[in-house]
Chain A
């Protein structure tokens, strides 16, 4: 234990020290250049280490992944587009894609609507109650997805009829005299996928609420008062005065949640592992790579995911720039 602690301290010291030394040496090297060039080149020298690290740890693996997506299961031979055609041709993978799309369509929008509603309503409470309400709603944020899954297992759990029901929902259902429902296997209209989404909403609405609430509090009261004097109703004030002023925050939260949802893995893995037609892209990727050891399929799935996330990222960067320009 002691040795490990000492090693950890040494590693941190050495890491920070090495970084300092690196920049110091780079600085000295640039200073050797003649005056005008020093200024021109210096920024590049300062940005180089970070850029090199990103290139090594992000760009290189990303390119390698694209390359592997055209190779076979153990990355020993080229198979062209076969990984993509086989995946897109299989019924179960198309279902997986459909489920993922469902998540993307439902969860970010629902997070914004719920988060906004709670933020607006909590804003009208007395300070004490507001704090209490917000803290309670924010609390699930502190629970890991696997922990959330365990909690929700107790809500969806199903035991055979005439056994005591451990699950909350089935306890209510059987208490009302009905047979227990096998919640996680209800696939009509993808109902079980929605049950899993509820878990993510439960965990994430607090995050949206905090950011949106801060934005709402930042709306200048003069604008609200001006609207009231002009005779606007509360709904009109919300829709035409508040929302436009917090739109930037709404977009940021929306995009953050969307990207998170596209990569959703843990909740589905813990609750069903993609069984009962609840599979999503993240779980399928994990199973292809770590259960099936199929590098080709796994890489192809990730590349598709990357292509899907790209436009959203570009939009976010543009939106961010536009925002900056306004300020």
Chain B
């Protein structure tokens, strides 16, 4: 009696085991990473992990793949929407890519200090880089005097757009200092026009464009050193420097008549389209501060994009004083090397560090090179040329500060309290104190 039952049990259990173990991996986590980390790796396969995808990735691939092929190197692209989390997970699991493109320097420096990344000083031609890279971009990827992250592509945030024809015919000139910017604001208003368009609405992320304003002003007033101290909270929000920046912002944004729609409309106005009244006739405003991304389809009206060089003017957000330091706020992708002995990965990195890298990508309008000696004629429009020149003329380069702050501040209280202040629900002092209080205690 018991025999057959036992037999049946075993058969069924066995079948179940077979079924469960029968699942096949579709190979999303290939083997290439595992050996990373550094030991003698002569593989011709290079895995590059990056935080962007879609058309941007396709254009970037088109730039790298042909060269890799000519060197007999196969590149495995691993794009992710969630770079910061995934790279930490992969480091913990020792499942490293060969090269990773870090969207901001915080995590790069963190991994470098833990010895996970290889210094690039011996891999790349440092003396050439020192003269060709935009000032401050090498420092942004360096730790203790060694380069760990090389800026490969760049975006610029310290920009003010204006409606070119109306701006020029009214005789306005691009300001060269913050006081001049304030004078220009008053002059436009005195002429019976509205100087600024402003919008910080961005769904659940509402408030971030206001943090860009603060970053720019703090960097211009305090210089890159104090800017970095502020990012690491050595300088508090409730401090003279931040208040100085806030006062300038307040003067521009809250003075009645300065902003189209007034102070209240700033927090309900979408960041991407807030500037579009500039292109009406007569213009709804004359100045709009936003990153270089906004001068593209989906943000500025299509008719403007089609005729961008005649319609759009752009100048760099001016420095505190005309002859002083002029740091520029921006971002970009920093290439870091995990497998230090992998010759193929080094070859790819060297290629990315040249001043001619990205020419094809740039011609499509989606790429700005961090190299000052990059051929400007590769940029398809005067507008992009001007934007690149703003960056190349910088005395220092600062990465987006809110990205580098702890999440509780950088994408939490900083956004929310700025929104509350701008929409008039909180005083400045309350807002700054609240942000300071929300800074996580370092344990």
Q: Which residues of A line the B interface, CB within 8 A?
A: 3-4, 6-7, 10-11, 13-14, 17-18, 21, 24-25, 28, 72-74, 76-77, 92, 157-163, 182, 184-185, 187, 269-270, 272-277, 287, 291-294
Which residues of B sit under 8 angstroms from A185, Cβ to Cβ? 264, 267-268, 423
Asked if B360 CB lies within 8 Å of chain A CBs, one says: no
Q: Which of B250-299 contact A (CB under 8 A)?
A: 260-262, 264-265, 267-269, 277, 284
- Count of B residues near A, CB < 8 Å? 42
* Beta-carbon nearest neighbor of A286 in chain B: B204
* Beta-carbon nearest neighbor of A4 in chain B: B26
Bound complex: CA of A282 vs CA of B12, how far in Å?
46
Contact check: which of B9, B408, B425, B438 meets A187 at CB < 8 Å?
A: B425
Q: For the complex formed, measure the closest distance between the CB of A295 and the CB atoms of chain B, giving whole angstroms.
A: 12
Q: For the complex formed, measure the closest distance between the CB of B15 and the CB atoms of chain A, giving whole angstroms.
A: 7
Tell me whether A275 and B420 are in contact (CB under 8 A).
Answer: yes
- Beyond contacts A21-B13, A25-B9, A275-B420: 6 other A-B pairs, Cβ-Cβ < 8 A, are A10-B19, A157-B268, A182-B265, A269-B204, A273-B203, A276-B423
Bound complex: CA of A14 vs CA of B15, how far in Å?
9
Q: For the complex formed, measure the closest distance between the CB of A18 and the CB atoms of chain B, giving whole angstroms.
A: 5
13 contacts between A and B (CB under 8 A): A7-B24, A18-B20, A21-B13, A73-B441, A77-B443, A157-B268, A160-B261, A161-B265, A182-B264, A184-B268, A276-B267, A277-B425, A292-B412
Asked if B419 CB lies within 8 Å of chain A CBs, one says: yes
Tell me whether A159 and B269 are in contact (CB under 8 A).
Answer: yes
Which residues of A sit under 8 angstroms from B23, Cβ to Cβ? 7, 10-11
Q: For the complex formed, measure the closest distance between the CB of B420 and the CB atoms of chain A, giving whole angstroms.
A: 7
Instruction: Find the residue from A24, A72, A160, A269 having the highest chain B CB count within 10 A.
Output: A160
Q: For the complex formed, measure the closest distance between the CB of A266 and the CB atoms of chain B, giving whole angstroms.
A: 11
Which residues of A sit under 8 angstroms from B205, Cβ to Cβ? 273
Tell me whether B203 and A158 are in contact (CB under 8 A).
Answer: no
Bound complex: CA of A109 vs CA of B441, how far in Å?
43
Tell me whether A158 and B24 are in contact (CB under 8 A).
Answer: no
- CB within 8 Å for A17 and B19 given contacts A273-B206, A277-B425, A292-B408: yes
Bound complex: CA of A163 vs CA of B283, how far in Å?
11
Asked if B116 CB lies within 8 Å of chain A CBs, one says: no
* Beta-carbon nearest neighbor of B27 in chain A: A3
Asked if B22 CB lies within 8 Å of chain A CBs, one says: yes
Tell me whether B408 and A160 are in contact (CB under 8 A).
Answer: no
Q: For the complex formed, measure the closest distance between the CB of B303 and the CB atoms of chain A, giving whole angstroms.
A: 16
Which residues of B sit under 8 angstroms from A24, Cβ to Cβ? 9, 12
* Beta-carbon nearest neighbor of A268 in chain B: B204
Bound complex: CA of A122 vs CA of B311, how far in Å?
58
Bound complex: CA of A293 vs CA of B411, how far in Å?
11
Q: For the complex formed, measure the closest distance between the CB of B134 and the CB atoms of chain A, giving whole angstroms.
A: 32
Bound complex: CA of A61 vs CA of B357, how far in Å?
52
Which residues of B sit under 8 angstroms from A293, Cβ to Cβ? 406-408, 440
* Beta-carbon nearest neighbor of B269 in chain A: A160
Tell me whether B407 and A17 are in contact (CB under 8 A).
Answer: no
Bound complex: CA of A121 vs CA of B15, how far in Å?
59
Contact check: which of A3, A275, A276, A294 meets B26 at CB < 8 Å?
A: A3
Q: For the complex formed, measure the closest distance between the CB of B402 and the CB atoms of chain A, giving whole angstroms.
A: 12
Tell me whether A270 and B204 are in contact (CB under 8 A).
Answer: yes
Asked if B371 CB lies within 8 Å of chain A CBs, one says: no
Q: Which 5 A-B pairs have the closest CB atoms?
A: A160-B261, A292-B408, A273-B204, A14-B19, A158-B268
Which residues of A sit under 8 angstroms from B26, Cβ to Cβ? 3-4, 7
Contact check: which of A7, A162, A275 meets B416 at CB < 8 Å?
A: A275
Contact check: which of B12, B203, B268, B416 meets A274 at CB < 8 Å?
A: B416
Contact check: which of B22, B206, B261 meets A163 at CB < 8 Å?
A: B261
Bound complex: CA of A92 vs CA of B416, how far in Å?
12
Bound complex: CA of A3 vs CA of B25, how far in Å?
8
Asked if B5 CB lies within 8 Å of chain A CBs, one says: yes
Q: For the complex formed, measure the closest distance between the CB of B24 and the CB atoms of chain A, giving whole angstroms.
A: 6
* Beta-carbon nearest neighbor of B277 in chain A: A163
Which residues of B sit under 8 angstroms from A292, Cβ to Cβ? 406-408, 412, 438, 440
Asked if B91 CB lies within 8 Å of chain A CBs, one says: no
Bound complex: CA of A244 vs CA of B49, how far in Å?
65
Contact check: which of A3, A14, A73, A273 meets B24 at CB < 8 Å?
A: A3
Tell me whether B284 and A162 are in contact (CB under 8 A).
Answer: yes
Mask, B179-207, CB within 8 Å of A = 1, is: 00000000000000000000000011111
Which residues of A sit under 8 angstroms from B16, Cβ to Cβ? 14, 17-18, 21
Q: For the complex formed, measure the closest distance between the CB of A23 and the CB atoms of chain B, giving whole angstroms.
A: 12
Tell me whether A160 and B407 are in contact (CB under 8 A).
Answer: no
Q: Which of B366-407 contact A (CB under 8 A)?
A: 406-407
* Beta-carbon nearest neighbor of A7 in chain B: B23
